[in-house]
């Protein structure tokens, strides 16, 4: 059951993966082009909901409808000397990203009234094409700090162990292919950073009903310690974040609040099982971790009573 949920989550991330690969190709090809196609606006503003959908249309985003029932708004910048500036709007949790290459907004055609519920921004962490391990680490650390200052707090998926600091990084490195939330307050050494970028690290955050994932990809330039970096931030509403639990039913997906607590029971059991195993290995469990309110055991009961 839990493996099925994880697989469903990966399906919903497929647009982000495609965008990430396309951005890498665009980055490499653009180095040899003098004339890159540019959108009408170098600065774009993104937000969720129906307003986010109309804003995307007004700003000239292209629209693609996928047979899966997902629609996508997209814009991109090809000229490496004139990359985009993306302004994400969410009240005090708003932030900006420069050196943007591709922005993609996703929505569910089965719920058109909900508008865009997932945004993905692929961007370079530095204006320079090739940077060192140290510069990449420091620029990502600075971005993580800005997100924390804006009010974003760490999120750990419901089935994953609650680890902090270096232990969280060590656990992430020990699980090949696993998607684990690294603690953004821990700054890795250069050697640790070298190992992290080899597995495409992720930092998960949460703020006021929205989930955020920052990932970093790396490709060596052939020079020792130097390489091409591509970063990606995905922000998604709660309904989108938990949608893999309800991939079997459009109706259940629309009313996910009523069913989420039951669906998360197996995730909570998996977390406890992993934490017991890790305690034996000497790990410390962070019992002060505060999960989003959606993951409270009585969330669905309260949501049902409210309706």
- Who wins on pLDDT, 270 or 248? 270
For residue 170, give both structure tokens: 């060590």
Residue 291 has pLDDT above 90, yes or no: yes
Question: Residue 72 in contact with residue 105, Cβ under 8 Å?
Answer: yes
Encoded tokens for 171: 């656990």
Q: How far apart are CA 181 and CA 167, in angstroms?
A: 11
- pTM for the whole structure: 0.87
- Number of folded domains that form the chain: 1
> Residue 248's pLDDT is what?
83
Number of alpha carbons in the 13 Å side-chain half-sphere of residue 143: 24
Q: 220-232: b or e for each residue (b if 16 or more CB lie within 10 Å)?
A: eeeeeeebbbbbb
Average pLDDT of 250-270? 92
- Yes or no: say if 75 and 61 are a contact pair by the CB < 8 Å rule: yes
The range of the structural domain enclosing residue 14 comes to: 2-306
- The predicted model gives 227-245 an average pLDDT of 95
**pLDDT at res. 187:** 97
Contact between residue 15 and residue 104 where contact means Cβ atoms under 8 Å apart? yes
What are 39-96's pLDDT values in tens digits? 556 999 999 999 999 999 999 999 998 887 889 999 999 888 899 999 999 999 999 9
The pLDDT of residue 274 is 97
Lowest mean pLDDT: which of 58-62, 68-72, 136-140, 170-174? 68-72
Using pLDDT thresholds of 50, 70 and 90, give the confidence band for residue 10.
Answer: very low
Banded model confidence at residue 30, pLDDT cuts 50, 70, 90 = very low
Side-chain half-sphere of 76: how many Cα atoms within 13 Å? 19
User: Is 80 exceeded by the pLDDT of residue 27?
Assistant: no
């Amino acid at each position: 059951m839990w493996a099925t949920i994880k697989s469903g989550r990966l399906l919903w991330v497929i647009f982000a993966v495609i965008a990430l690969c396309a951005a890498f190709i665009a980055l490499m090809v653009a180095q040899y082009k003098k004339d890159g196609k540019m959108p009408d606006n170098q600065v774009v503003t993104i937000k969720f909901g129906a307003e986010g959908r109309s804003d995307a249309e007004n700003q000239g985003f292209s629209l693609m409808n996928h047979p899966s029932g997902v629609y996508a708004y997209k814009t991109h910048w090809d000229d490496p000397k004139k990359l985009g500036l993306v302004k994400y709007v969410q009240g005090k949790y708003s932030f900006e990203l420069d050196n943007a290459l591709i922005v993609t907004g996703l929505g569910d055609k089965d719920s058109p009234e909900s508008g865009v519920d997932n945004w993905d921004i692929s961007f370079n962490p530095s204006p320079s094409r090739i940077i060192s391990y140290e510069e990449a680490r420091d620029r990502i650390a600075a971005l993580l700090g800005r997100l924390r200052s804006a009010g974003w707090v760490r999120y750990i998926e419901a089935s994953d162990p609650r680890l902090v600091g270096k232990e969280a990084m060590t656990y992430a490195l020990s699980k090949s292919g696993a998607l684990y939330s690294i603690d953004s307050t821990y700054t890795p050494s250069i050697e640790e950073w070298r190992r992290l970028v080899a597995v495409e690290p992720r930092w998960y955050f949460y703020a006021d009903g929205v989930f955020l994932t920052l990932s970093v990809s790396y490709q060596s330039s052939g020079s020792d310690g130097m390489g091409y970096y591509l970063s990606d931030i995905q922000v998604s509403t709660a309904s989108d974040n938990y949608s893999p639990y309800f991939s079997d039913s459009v109706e259940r997906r629309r009313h996910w609040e009523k069913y989420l607590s039951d669906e998360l029971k197996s995730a909570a059991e998996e977390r406890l099982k992993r934490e017991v195993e890790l305690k034996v290995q000497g790990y410390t469990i962070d019992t002060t971790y505060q999960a989003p309110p959606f993951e409270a055991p009585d969330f669905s009961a309260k949501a049902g009573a409210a309706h």
